[in-house]
Amino acid sequence: MPDPASLRPLLPVAAAMAALLVAGVAAAFHLALARPPPAIPWPARLRRLSVASPWRAADLAVLLLLIALAQGLRRWLPLPVMGDMLAFHGVTLAGVIWLARRKTRPFGPPLPWKTVVLQSLLRWLAILPLLWFVSFVWQLMLTAIGHPADLQYAIRLFLDTPAPADRAGFILFAVLLAPLAEEALFRGMLLPLLVRRIGAAPGILLSSLAFALLHADAGSFAALGILSVALSLAYARTGSLRLPVAMHMLFNAANLLLLLALSRTGVI
């Protein structure tokens, strides 16, 4: 039986997670019961958004070519610690911005920042209980088949980077650059293209599969797939990328805070 004294440092972390769980359940009930259903169901709304989207398959092909070139160049150039991730996310964001320069509303209509803040917080809280449950069951399944999950590469990189300046750069990357780049690619560009070709629900599922596979981590695969579905539904609700970007930022920031707390207690 663990020594009670050894568990004491974990109490603040456990209390914070319990509070988030309660807040998440309350947020989920609020979204499910306290708001009237939208006049247009989300599949029809997402189809309309996809038809109106200025992105075309040629844009995606150009972006993927730029990413492939960057991935090839990084093998020949000396890059910093986060070079692998910067070669993908930095090029992705720069490529999307370059391709969007002559398009009308490439990221959807502007959404008031007050709405973005409130809705992203509410929806992030609402998805937390499901994410934690799915992640827990997924870890049990991996362990049962003899493949216990290891820490994700990005997490190991963060924990193995003790220099404050390097950690600050990693936090900036995880909380700002990664959400912007990934949402621009998966929700802004890929999702509308898929919905136009195969429909709303299959488009969300296929783009979410691609989103989860991008992170190349078996342990977080299921949770990332669920997160991607939630981000896509948030985009379908508002038609603006601001909401899924803000939710993604909250998700990454909360995970980093949890990692820091657990590393200081010696759990990881």
- For 149-159, how does the pLDDT look when each residue is reduced to its tens digit (9 = 90+)? 777 777 777 77
Q: Output the pLDDT for position 7.
A: 63
Q: Output the pLDDT for position 230.
A: 98
Q: Quote the pTM value.
A: 0.92
Rounded average pLDDT over 134-139: 94
Task: Answer yes or no: is pLDDT of 163 > 60.
Answer: yes
Q: Output the pLDDT for position 75.
A: 76
**Closest among 28, 185, 6, 1 to 99, alpha carbons compared:** 185
Give Cβ neighbours of residue 155 (< 8 Å, ≥ 6 apart).
259
Burial level of 206, CB count in 10 A (0-12/13-18/19+)? middle
Residue pair 74/49 in contact (Cβ under 8 Å)? The answer is no
Helices (H) and strands (E) in the chain, counts: 13, 0
**Residue 8 banded pLDDT, cuts 50, 70, 90:** confident
pLDDT digits (tens, 9 = 90+) for 76-92: 776 665 667 778 899 99
Q: Phi/psi class of residue 194: alpha, beta or left (left: φ > 0; alpha: ψ in -120 to 50)?
A: alpha
- What CA–CA distance (Å, rounded) separates 99 from 115? 28
pLDDT digits (tens, 9 = 90+) for 57-67: 999 999 999 99
Q: Which two three-digit tokens encode residue 139?
A: 């870890």
Q: Which two three-digit tokens encode residue 124?
A: 């992030």
Residue pair 254/166 in contact (Cβ under 8 Å)? The answer is no
Cβ neighbours of 28 (radius 10 Å): 18
